[in-house]
Amino acid sequence: MQYIRLGNSGLQVSRLCLGTMNMGTPDWKPWIFNEKQSEPIVAHALANGVNFIDLADFYSAGVGEEVVGRIVKRLARREDLVITTKVGYGTRTGLNASGHSRKHIMDSIDASLKRLDMDYVDVFMLHYFDINTPVEETMGALNDIVRSGKARYIGVSTMLTGQLAKLLMACERNGWVKPINMQLQLNCAYREEEREMIPFCRDQGIGVSVFSPLARGLLTGDVQSTRNQTDFFTQQMYSDEASFEIARSVQRVARARGVSNAQIAQAWVASHPGVDCMLVGADTTAQFDSALAALDTRLDAEERHELERNYTPCDVINDYTAGKRILRTPRPGQERFTLQEAVA
């Protein structure tokens, strides 16, 4: 395992972070593992040096925190782990049951700690940017949570660069603690965060943790998984021809190397100069081992060219574009060039 200091903080974390969205109860979604199924995966990750575990109150509507909390209590010492959980979507319906108001943030940290059976989390993260709550209210509440000892640090996830800048300016104006971690989506088929967010985080000393390195399974070749057959987000994000061409490139490089598609796709993410940590949402110990091998997989210039040559810009993937994204397809040519192509 490799370790890194997260952003400008003194917190040292494993470069693989165990994602736990697939742990909790299948009553929430059919592809979720129960506690008995989840424990071997957590145990394997810990045995291989993972100290960084990512959760959210939203996962399995709170049951995910309960399940993972019980597992890690059996397997590890709390002080050896870096536990992060997220707030925003909530675990139930109703007024003030979601978002980043002071009320919901304060209610959520207490509820998460109770479910985890812990006195504190290491990083308490905003799951998204709440456009309906003043940033001073949100960041003031997070600052109070850190000062109270219920969280050691704060982090953020999945927002626009300008929105992150607003949060940081509020912290600067008021002398509040600042986020040390940005969690974002990045893979061979989705690279829009390279334009602004990753350089901005580097400039501001914020660590970058990447989720979905396999593009929700597209880059493994397993688009027929239970999750992808029941999760409409995959179709929204990765059902265009550019994404399919990139997946074919991953397969070509993997075949030439004699390794799995997943290892090549994860190696591209792990070796990205803007990435500190890669989240691994493993369904098997073998899937975790693929990510571990990717940390030491060095891609040469020709392999990188093959993986990157089909990428074209696309709509940003975040909560505000859900259901509105336009898939990448060639635009019709102008008549003059269309005629030339037909003659040629």
155-174 tens-digit pLDDT:
999 999 999 999 999 999 99
What residues form DSSP beta bridges with 155?
125, 181
- Pairwise CA distance, residues 183 & 279, whole Å: 9
In DSSP terms, 209 is beta-bridged to: 183, 277
> Angle at the Cα of 46 (from 295 to 1), degrees rounded to 5?
25
CA atoms in the 13 A half-sphere facing the CB of 90: 16
pLDDT for res 126: 98
Residues known to be catalytic: 59
Is residue 343 over pLDDT 70? no
pTM: 0.89
Q: Are 244 and 204 in contact (CB under 8 A)?
A: no
What pLDDT score does 110 carry?
98
Over residues 22-72, the pLDDT tens digits come to 999 999 999 999 999 999 999 999 999 999 999 999 999 999 999 999 999
Q: Where are the beta strands (DSSP E) in the chain?
A: 3-5, 12-14, 16-19, 52-54, 82-87, 121-126, 151-157, 181-185, 207-211, 277-280
In the predicted structure, residue 98 carries a pLDDT above the cut 60:
yes
Q: Indicate left, alpha or beta for 102 from its phi (over 0: left) and psi (-120 to 50: alpha).
A: alpha
239 vs 132, more confident: 132
Please check the confidence at residue 101 and state whether its pLDDT lies above 60.
yes
Indicate if the pLDDT at residue 88 is higher than 60: yes
d(CA 145, CA 104): 12
pLDDT at 344 over 70: no
For residue 340, pLDDT beyond 50? no
Per-residue pLDDT tens digits for 181-198: 999 999 999 999 999 999
* Distance between first and last Cα of the chain: 55
Residue 227 reports pLDDT greater than 60: no
**pLDDT of 218 over the 70 cut:** yes
Q: What is the mean pLDDT of residues 227-247?
A: 74
Pick the more confident residue, 316 or 103: 103
Taking 70 as the threshold, does the pLDDT of residue 209 lie above it? yes
- The predicted-structure confidence for 123-159, as pLDDT tens digits, reads as follows 999 999 999 999 999 999 999 999 999 999 999 999 9
Report helix, strand or coil for 268: helix
User: Per-residue pLDDT averaged across 247-259, rounded?
Assistant: 94
Q: Which tops the pLDDT comparison, 269 or 312? A: 269
Q: How confident is the model at residue 241 (pLDDT cuts 50, 70, 90)?
A: confident
Tens digit of each residue's pLDDT (9 = 90 or more) over 276-333: 999 999 999 999 999 999 999 999 999 999 999 999 887 777 777 777 767 776 566 6
